[in-house]
Every structure is written in C-alpha cells, then in structure tokens.
Structure 1
Amino acid sequence: MGPFTLDHLPSEIILQCCKYFDDYIILSTLRPVCRSWCYATEIKIPTGTMAGLPPALWEKILSYNMDYRTFHAISQTCSSLRSLTKTSRISRVQDSAYRLPALAAPVCPAMTTKVVQHLAFESICCRIETGSLIYHKSGNCCPNDVLSFPVAEENATNPPVSKILVKFSSKYGVSLRPVLIDRPRRESEGGVTVGDVYKAIQRLFAEPLSQKQIVAMKQIRDWEARKHEAAKQSLARIEQLGAIGVRTATTSPTTPARGPSPEQGPEKEPVIEHDDAIIYLDYPFEADALPHTHNTVRRQREFLHDFPYVYASVHVGAVVNSVQIFNLTYH
C-alpha cells in the first residue's frame, strides 16, 4: 500500500469535515488543498460563493477604506464574513479589523504615522474598586466576559505596537507603578491586543504594594490625619474666641481678654517617595485580582480609597523610547 494522502479520503468524510467550518474557510482554505477536496466542497457549496458573492469579491469590498464601526457591523452579519475579517491576508482588511500583523507596522510608528487606539477603549472602562471591566455607556457590568469577546483579540492600536506602558495619571499626590506589556514581533501575529491592555489595567490596581509604597501610604495617611486634627482645633479656637467675645462685652472695657495662643500655619505636605518601578505583565501574579474577605494583601488601589466608585479609562499618549504610553484617567 502506497503512502496515504488527502486524495485518498472519500468525499463523504471530507463533507463531514466541512461541517465544522464556515463557507469562507471552506472556499478559501479547504478547497485549494487538492482535487478531492475541491470536488467535495463543490458538493457542499455548488455556487462557490458565500452570501451570494465569491470570497475574493468580499475581500475587495471590505478592503475599501471604511471606518471600524461599519466594518464591524458587516462582519457580524454571518459567520463566514466574521471568519473572513479574522483570517484574511489582505492588508487593508487587516487594517480595518485592527488585525494587522506587527511586522507590517514600522518599528517606531510615531515617526511615520499617527497611532490610533482601538474604538473599544471609548466604550469600556475599569471600575477601580473591584478591578472589573464594564461597558460604561450601557451600564452593563461584565467583569468576567469582556476578555472573552472577539474584540479582546484585536490590536490595541493601528498600526500595531509591540510594547505598551499602562500608566495611571498622577493625581492627588498618588503615583502607581505602571504595567509594561511586551509582545515579541512574529510574522503572522499582531501587536499588543485590547485584551492585553485590560489585563494590564486590572493588574495595575490589584498589584500588591511594595515596601516603599507601604511607607508612602503611611506618610500620606498620617499627614491627612494631622490636617484633619488641625482643622478641628482651628474650628474649636474660632468657637472659643466667639465665646470670649460674648463674655468681654458684659465686662469692663479695661479688662484685657485672654484668648488662645496665635494659630500656627498649616503643615506643609510631606515629600512622598513613591515606587515607580515597572510591573511586567508576563511576570507571575499569584494574588487574586478581585477583593475577598480572606484576602488581606494590600493593593495599589488603596491609594485611591477616597474615590472607590470611580472608573478609569485609557487614552493613547506619546511614544517614549519606542514604547507606546497609555494613560489611565478618572472617568
């Protein structure tokens, strides 16, 4: 018996295999395999078309410069078009779908073209308190499902980049350690994905505090406590002066009124030494990202305890040392 090849498969088995694929994969990938597969796919799809048009014509239609929303709406009409947007090798189709391979983009995109962030970042943000991802425009909370959506596999930027640093914009004296996403450039793969960025956001807020951060947090809290106590004492002095004024109005004008000692100036804010060391997304992360009653690990989000119910969203920033910056801001 000679060597077994795909030509020896009976049409019945090939047709059974075709049941697991949509029309686009059958016509574009399975049909060119060999003559036997070509005959079998003609039995499955006699017209050789999907949704009334050949795959090559669909690729021409989708290769026209159209915005992402229109492109995405077309891709959702059937499984074949959805498969086309994911597997097409046409660069314009890949560009519109945010699936351009990393090697097709320049090493330093800021020097040649403007980097545009994925439109998903306009609709999804992170709830700082729980580290969960939500659709803030619709109000639907989906902390576990966002990263399983197809959009999570698409490039975070156009053109794609292989390194993104997710930073929290320093605010209210707070500085959090940034998270670096570093993806090696491979020929067939894209750059940093939308899912990578949101994993980095979750890790940024859920990362355990370093020793330097613990010291900084104690200094901030102690200073806030002293400010609060000084404000209480100042209010007590004002009330005491008012009471003294009432008493002196009923006494002799020659009797000097003894008030409290002069008020001291406000305490200056201490110089806090924050830990700005980079967190690498691919490094092991043992602590659970979500808060639990048994979890006593202190997190970076504790710096923001005065703003527990606010959301953070990302905005593309500058390129520093060939690393694309994504700035996290309050929503």
Structure 2
Amino acid sequence: MSPFTLDHLPSEIILQCCKYLDDYTILSTLRPVCRSWCYATDIKIPAGTMAGLPPAIWEKILGYNMDYKTIHAVSQTCSSLRSLTKSSRMSRLQGSAYRLPAPAAPVYPAITTKMVQHPAFESICCRIETGSLIYHRSGNCCPNDILAFPVAEENATNPPVSKILVKFSSKYGVSLRPVLIDRPRRENEGGVTVGDVYKAMQRLFAEPLSQKQIVAIKQIRDWEARKHEAAKQSLARMEKLNSTSAGTAAEPSSPTPKAVPEKEPIIEHDDAIIYLDYPFEADSLPHSHNTVRRQREFLNDFPYVYASVHVGGVINSTQVFNLTYH
C-alpha cells in the first residue's frame, strides 16, 4: 500500500478545510501545495481573487508608500486583507505594517536613516500609580486588553531591533531600575514588539524596591520632611518679628538671621538592570493587601501622572526607550 499523501485527499475534504480559512490564506498557502489542492481551491475561489483582485496586486497596492494608519484601516475591512498584512513577505509592506523580520545581526540606523517608533506609542501610555495601560487621548482605561490586540504583536520600531532598554528619565531626584527586553533572533521573526515594551513599562513601576532603593527613598523623604519643617519655622519667626515690630515702630529692628538651607543628600540609587523574562519576586498587581513596596513609590508625590515612551539613543548595542511624564 502506498503511503498516504496530501494529493490523495478528496476534493470534498479539502473544501471542508477551506471553510475555516480566509481567501488570502487559501490562495497564498493552500493553492501552491499540489495539483489536487489547486483544483479544490479553484472550486472554492474560481476567479483566484480576493475582493476582486489577486493577492499579488493587493500586496503591490498596500506596499506602495502607504503609512501604517492607512494599512491598518484597510486591514480592518475583511479577514483576507487582515491576513495579508500579517503574512505578506513583501518587504515594503512588512515595513509599513511594522512586521519586518529582525536582522541576523544588530543593525542600527545610519546617519541618513531614522529609527522610527510604532505609532501606537503616540496614543497609549502607562498610569504610574497603578501600572496599568490606558488610551491617553480617549481616556478609556485599558489595563490588560492591549496585550491581546494585534498591535501588540507588531515591531516596536522600524527597523526592528532585538534589544530594547526601557528607562525612566531621571526627574525630581529619583532613579528607577531600567528593564531590558532581549529577544533571541529567529528566522523570519520580528524584533521586540509593542506588547513587550508595555509589559516592560508595567514591570518597571511594579518591580519591588531593592535594598539600596529602600535606603534612598528614606533619605529623600527625611530630607523633604526637614525642609518642610525648616520652612515652617522660618515663617513662624517672620510672623513673630512682624508682630513685634508693629508694637515698637520707633525702635530700630535688629537684622533677622537667615536660615542656612540644608544641602540635598547624595542619594545612592540602584540602577541594576531588570530582565523582562525573569520572574517577579512578588505579586505585581496593586491589591490593597499587597504590602510589597514598589519602584513607583519613588513617584509618590506625583499621583495620577502618566508616562509614555519615546525612542532614544543606542547604549552598548541596545536601543533605549525613555519613559517621560505627561
């Protein structure tokens, strides 16, 4: 008995398989398998086209200098076009859809080329005190669903890179440990994705404080408390002096001693890298019963603040994304 092969399948079974697939997958993947599959798919799609045109023509149309937002809008019209934008091997279309495969070796833009971040970063940001992701422009809360959207699978940059360091821009005397995303390069796979970057944003704020950071945050809080107390005492002395001088206007007033401002302490921050793939030391969700101190405690004086990422420079062959305040 000869071994069973795909070209021995009856056309009826092949047609049943085609019911679960869109036109682009049928024409681009199933049809070239063998003659039997070609005949069966011709029964399913006699004209060999999807939405009136062959897949190759659609690839040329979508790959002709279309920006990401236009391609995204077109891909939402039907499942076949959506599959085409995700599966096409045309480099121009892959670039516009942020789905270029990562290079075999790290390649960073030359002087004439600009590293471009994904347009999703323009409208979605992270709410610091909860570590959740939101649509900043619309105001709709989206703490987890963004990671299930197709955009989460797309490259974070064009050209794609396999290493990204998500780093908080040091501000107000605080420094948070950065998160490193390191993706192994595999053939025909993209680089670091939009979803990877947002997972890193969440992790950066929800990571437990290290011992150095616990000491640093105590020094910052103590210094702030002493400054506040010194300001109160200075105000009290001025009020007392004003009330005294009002009663003895004829007598010359002695000069008020100026308070010497306390110097800001030298804080030893912990800048050790957090690796995204390493497990959390504790539950990262902001439950009320969770007493673990988090990196976002450094930002306790700035509640309800949002952070978004912006592409930065390259450090040690690693692309940097800087987190900044809104």
TM-score normalised by the chain length of structure 2: 0.96
Partners of 1:110 and 1:319 within 8 A in 2:
no
Q: Matched residues, percent identical?
A: 85
Aligned counterparts of 2:111 and 2:14: Cα–Cα separation in 1 = 50
Amino acid paired to 1:270: P
**Equivalent of 1:293 in 278, 288, 308:** 288
Residues 20 and 299 of structure 1, relative CA distance in 2, 3 Å threshold: same
Structure 1 residue 262: Cα displacement: 2.7
Residues 58 and 163 of structure 1, relative CA distance in 2, 3 Å threshold: same
Partners of 2:118 and 2:158 within 8 A in 1:
yes
List alignment gaps of at least 5 residues for structure 1: none
Map of 2:201 onto structure 1: 201
Aligned counterparts of 2:272 and 2:112: Cα–Cα separation in 1 = 30
**Equivalent of 1:267 in 262, 275, 286:** 262
- Where does 1:159-170 land on structure 2 (aligned, <5 Å)? 159-170=159-170
Amino acid paired to 2:220: I
Amino acid paired to 2:5: T
Aligned counterparts of 1:189 and 1:101: Cα–Cα separation in 2 = 5
Map of 1:124 onto structure 2: 124
Aligned counterparts of 1:161 and 1:65: Cα–Cα separation in 2 = 22
Structure 1 residue 108: Cα displacement: 2.8
Amino acid paired to 1:236: A
Aligned counterparts of 2:75 and 2:281: Cα–Cα separation in 1 = 38
Superposed CA RMSD: 1.7
Partners of 1:105 and 1:159 within 8 A in 2:
no
Map of 2:143 onto structure 1: 143
- The 10-residue stretch of structure 1 (216-225 or 29-38) with the greater mean CA deviation from structure 2: 29-38
- The 10-residue stretch of structure 1 (222-231 or 70-79) with the greater mean CA deviation from structure 2: 70-79
- The 10-residue stretch of structure 1 (229-238 or 105-114) with the greater mean CA deviation from structure 2: 105-114
Structure 1 residue 292: Cα displacement: 0.6
Residues 110 and 194 of structure 1, relative CA distance in 2, 3 Å threshold: farther
Aligned counterparts of 2:299 and 2:86: Cα–Cα separation in 1 = 39
Report whether the alignment pairs 1:95 with 2:95: yes
- Where does 1:175-214 land on structure 2 (aligned, <5 Å)? 175-214=175-214
Amino acid paired to 1:272: I
Partners of 2:178 and 2:273 within 8 A in 1:
yes
Partners of 1:314 and 1:328 within 8 A in 2:
yes
CA-to-partner distance for each residue in 1:90-144, whole Å, 9 max, x for gaps? Answer: 1111111100000278623346621100000001000001111111111111111
TM-score normalised by the chain length of structure 1: 0.94
Map of 1:323 onto structure 2: 318
Partners of 1:209 and 1:298 within 8 A in 2:
yes
Aligned counterparts of 1:288 and 1:145: Cα–Cα separation in 2 = 19
Amino acid paired to 1:262: P
Map of 1:174 onto structure 2: 174
- The 10-residue stretch of structure 1 (202-211 or 38-47) with the greater mean CA deviation from structure 2: 38-47
Aligned counterparts of 2:45 and 2:281: Cα–Cα separation in 1 = 50
Q: Secondary structure of 2:310's match?
A: strand
- The 10-residue stretch of structure 1 (306-315 or 110-119) with the greater mean CA deviation from structure 2: 110-119
Residues matched between the structures, number: 326
List alignment gaps of at least 5 residues for structure 2: none
Structure 1 residue 37: Cα displacement: 1.1
Map of 1:223 onto structure 2: 223
